[in-house]
Amino acid sequence: MEKPEARLHAIVHGLVQGVNFRYYTVRAAERLGLTGWVANRWDGTVETVAEGSRRALEEFRAFLNRGSPSASVERVEAWWETPTGEFTRFGVRYL
């Protein structure tokens, strides 16, 4: 597996827990060929780390701003990090 070119780390605020946000995030990441994880946080936000091509991660970031059909995203804190290539797939992580 080749090393990903970019890594996006994001925290999504709003009504994002209990609305299938993680499920739709996994589906979006898989469709875009990304690896990484998504998790509910204790404060009601959702955190995600994804690696892949810069173009795919830009699309993923756009998805995070919309969220699942039942979600109400208020804002997304997102930043770029150095990719590590540590992931083999994209899944749900339990923090």
Q: Which positions are annotated as active-site residues?
A: 22, 40
Amino acid present at 64: L
Total H helices, total E strands in the chain: 2, 5
Contact 41, 11 (CB under 8 A): yes
